[in-house]
Structure 1
Amino acid sequence: MSLNNLKINKSHIQEYGFTVINTMFSQTELEEINHVLQHIDTSKENFRKSEDLFAIRQFLKEVPEIKNLVFNENIQRVIKEIFGEKYFVVKSIYFDKPETSNWYVAYHQDLTISVDKKLDLPDFGPWTTKKNQFAVQPPLDILENIYTIRIHLDDTDENNGALKVVPKSHAKGIYRPETIDWTIETEEICNVEKGGIMIMKPLTLHGSNRTTNGKKRRVIHIEFSDRELPEVLQWSERMN
């Protein structure tokens, strides 16, 4: 699939919950992004470091100079044509899964959103608070409306932790992973080339395996919505 016909990608997301579009970033653009990433001050508290994973939460806020590089013309076109005119950023994370990483992720849905405060609201909960950051499970219709773009800075396949997904699972509401019936469901590995993206709905069941080929995998994960939250609750990372 390519940028030539985003309608195909859009319908693939609607039906299956995900799509892959390669060659979104040129070699030069990737080098510029890499340059910024190599010069980050990694001592901040929003940065998580272990042997298996390096992650930056609120990535676009923490590393503002990356923003213009990430939102190139191709990405802007995808947001406009696949998501819609009114979508804005609501969450961003950078993941670096090193070459020797044993990090794997069991099947799950992304069920929480990041917000600016904790409030008693009907249909919002459970809540979690980490380092003054608030996450909550919102009503289903808010989750169904979100799109996630995963920008791949390295070639990614089943040997270095490409995402596995259960096609069409995004349309089944809250789907507990332990109840997956593999006689009905299928699994698909989403290989993505360096400079490509995967788009998915957060309710699509997804997971990833350990790295076995000694190749790193770096991903910029950005979530988008066009919804305002109720009352005085705000998206904590809202960015147009």
Structure 2
Amino acid sequence: MNLQNHKNLITEKGFTVIENIFSDEEINKIIHVLENIDTSKETFRKSQDLFAIRQFLKEIPEVKDLIFNENIKTIIKEIFGEKYFAVKSIYFDKPEKSNWYVAYHQDLTISVDKKVDLENFGPWTTKQNQFAVQPPLDILENIYTIRIHLDDTDENNGALKVVPKSHAKGIYRPETINWNVETEEICNVEKGGIMIMKPLTLHGSNRTTNGKKRRVIHIEFSDRKLPEELNWSEKMN
């Protein structure tokens, strides 16, 4: 893997796609675990258009060894840095007939263990006993997201569409996107491939039109210690 090239792409455009990070056998093992979980827990969100598991690595610890294979460990070390750890994880299953689409947005919150009054931290939200807060910009700029694809994904089953270079423009309100200046790129990823992106990259996804599933594991990484008594709620080395 020529990772320097991918590192440059992330710095320049805000994202990159790396294929063949997981073998079919590795992906099938992960899917096997997912097909045998108790889906009634309250951290699981289930609807016709989406099944999601928040705090995924905490809820389904048996996938950890399957996800952090040698390729992923190398990518974390060489592209992100020696001291990076996982801080947030979500599993998304977008079913074959899903009408669920996501408008352009940046990922602006982090998951933390409690609510504390801190300068430059806010607004706050709480979902399913999970505190989330928008931290100062430098913390967001420091995060990397890996999206592991368990299915072939293209524009017909909800591949991410992104605005290249938008990660370098601070907080970028989607309603202010100037399409005379900006471009849109669709990130097709094959089963077993990954997409890496900076959370400030504007991204969204369309409805599914080809009757194919889209299952993605989303994991965010940071190397920052949070101020005072605040902790990452899902910190995992």
2:29 paired residue among 29, 32, 38: 32
Tell me which of 96, 112, 116 is aligned to 1:115. 112
Matched, 1:182 2:182: no
Aligned-residue sequence identity (percent) comes to 83
Does structure 1 residue 56 correspond to structure 2 residue 53? yes
Match of 1:213 in 2: 210
| Number of the residue aligned with 1:232 | 229
1:172-203 Cα deviation digits (max 9, x unpaired): 00000000000000000000000000000000
Give the Å deviation of 1:136: 0.1
Which runs of no fewer than 5 residues in structure 2 stay unpaired?
Answer: none
Pairs within 5 Å for 1:149-228: 149-228=146-225
Corresponding residue of 2:67: 70
Residues of 1 paired with 2:24 and 2:152: CA distance? Answer: 13
Look up the match of 1:8: 5
Query: Equivalent residue of 2:2, what SS?
Result: helix
In the TM superposition, residue 156 of structure 1 has moved relative to its aligned partner by 0.3
Match runs of 1:81-100 below 5 Å: 81-100=78-97
CA RMSD of aligned residues (A): 0.4
Distance in structure 1 (CA, Å) of the matches to 2:32 and 2:139: 36
User: Under a length normalisation based on structure 2, what TM-score does the superposition of the two structures give?
Assistant: 1.00
Q: Is the partner of 2:73 in helix, strand or coil?
A: helix
Q: How far is 1:129 from its partner? A: 1.0
Question: Which residue number in structure 1 is paired with residue 41 of structure 2?
Answer: 44
Question: For residues 160 and 24 of structure 2, what CA distance do their matches in structure 1 show?
Answer: 23
**Moved segments of 4+, more than 4 Å:** none
Cα deviation per residue 1:36-88 (whole Å; 9 max; x = unaligned)? Answer: 01101000000000000000000000000000000000000100000000000
* Equivalent in the alignment of 2:143: 146
Shift of 1:131: 2.2
Aligned length: 237
Secondary structure of 2:79's counterpart equals helix
* Cα distance between partner residues in 2 of 1:100 and 1:166: 26
Q: Classify the secondary structure of the residue corresponding to 1:222.
A: strand
Aligned equivalent of 2:125, options 106, 128, 138: 128
